[in-house]
Structure 1
């Protein structure tokens, strides 16, 4: 049975009803806004349908769970000093909103031309983005947040699965802990991977729940990575960027890959 926008909208509203939640559908953008206690999360219905077509009902169950936990987390007050053991960096697209719906500026730093770093407090099943005002009237600085967040990230297990196509190797980090893409910030892990990669090291963070590390040894490898990244980007619940990033001397640079061709320098 074909899933339509109207059917998915009604299903999401049924799954997420209760707790005084309200729903707002934007027909032009094809999005569903879920609001509870003044906090809201906006869902892209076409993206959820694409994910449902790929993964079935588990896709709807997963997004419903994230919405419920996200709304719960957004209502909790943050004691930033006490929360330092649970702060983490998360990678998002540079187009990701810099402030909340009620105008509170999020703690953010530059990363690459395609990606930015935001900071969150892990609350178990979800996380809450840290707002700049959380640091006001405290002795906690952005440096404190950054140091703690990167240290906490390094303590998380980082495992990968390898696949090989046409002489090129691809490693997938998919632990589903909400910080897979963020592991692109784990410099020691990247250096370990660089030491075992024979060709050019290219990374991709198409959405928050995957980090792809490619060992590119021929032109076909770029083409495979481009298609792979685009597919992940289209299916992800929190898309970041479809552009891969070349890793050289500890630096990341976005590249545009033409089909069947290596990008020209």
Structure 2
């Protein structure tokens, strides 16, 4: 299948159509705008960029945009109040290709994480959350350092329930609570260090989408192949894909690794 702006526009219009929405197309800029009639606010997406991403990530590229728009429109309808609601602030992991700005070019609060991932910050709204941007920070009078400190404290308070599986002499641990912050738990350094003490081989981690975190105790070459396949499978099925790459965890640092051929690290 060949994808172009016309097909992408049709696909997104079908996926994002709703009774209280107006979808308009700017032919000159090749932009699609999805606006809520209730709030009068909307989100504009650039079709060429999504088409380019589709050629490498296929439906994941569409899924990510649809989720971003749905999340954004829902969040715009709600009021964010950071003060006295500190327990609702959490970090979230996103791919480096995820938008860096909210509607109208307002930058999100973002920190670098790895070459493949970034840290965003979210205000939990129950079934969804709103990414915190500079406009929210200015309105509330909050500094970025305060948000970071509270978010990292809150992620350490999240429950950790691991499922364990052994394959070909390697042990795999899965965190999959579907609370929106599974991948975020990679920022819990105490948890990672505890796991490092438990692992006898090489500690390899994967965060293919926001609702899963995989930790592998790799003891032979087959283990590298297995986690690479797992990461790709989860990445392809995730609602909010992050990265299909895995990471070595060594001395508190995450290093992306490419696993190719017969289990060779490069």
Counterpart of 2:130?
128
Q: 1:239, CA displacement in angstroms?
A: 0.8
| Structure-2 change in CA distance of 1:22 and 1:8 (3 Å) | closer
Counterpart of 1:58?
none
Q: 1:7, CA displacement in angstroms?
A: 10
- 1:45-194 aligned within 5 A: 47=59, 70-136=72-138, 138-194=140-196
Structure 2, unpaired ranges of 5+: 1-6
Q: 1:101, CA displacement in angstroms?
A: 3.4
In 2, are the aligned partners of 1:39 and 1:75 still within 8 Å (CA)? no
In 2, are the aligned partners of 1:168 and 1:216 still within 8 Å (CA)? yes
CA distance, structure 2, for counterparts of residue 22 and residue 104 of structure 1: 21
Q: 1:22, CA displacement in angstroms?
A: 3.0
Which of the numbers 196, 219, 222 marks the counterpart of 1:220? 222
CA distance, structure 1, for counterparts of residue 252 and residue 143 of structure 2: 26
CA distance, structure 2, for counterparts of residue 186 and residue 173 of structure 1: 13
Counterpart of 1:56?
none
| Structure-2 change in CA distance of 1:38 and 1:183 (3 Å) | same
Structure 1, unpaired ranges of 5+: 52-62
CA distance, structure 1, for counterparts of residue 122 and residue 166 of structure 2: 35
Q: Which moved more, 1:202-211 or 1:41-50?
A: 41-50
| Structure-2 change in CA distance of 1:10 and 1:202 (3 Å) | same
Counterpart of 1:40?
43
Are residue 12 (structure 1) and residue 24 (structure 2) matched?
A: no
Q: 1:50, CA displacement in angstroms?
A: 11
Q: TM-score, normalised by structure 1?
A: 0.80
Match of 2:217, SS state, is: strand
Q: TM-score, normalised by structure 2?
A: 0.79
Deviations 1:156-186 (A, max 9, x none): 1111111111111111110000001111001
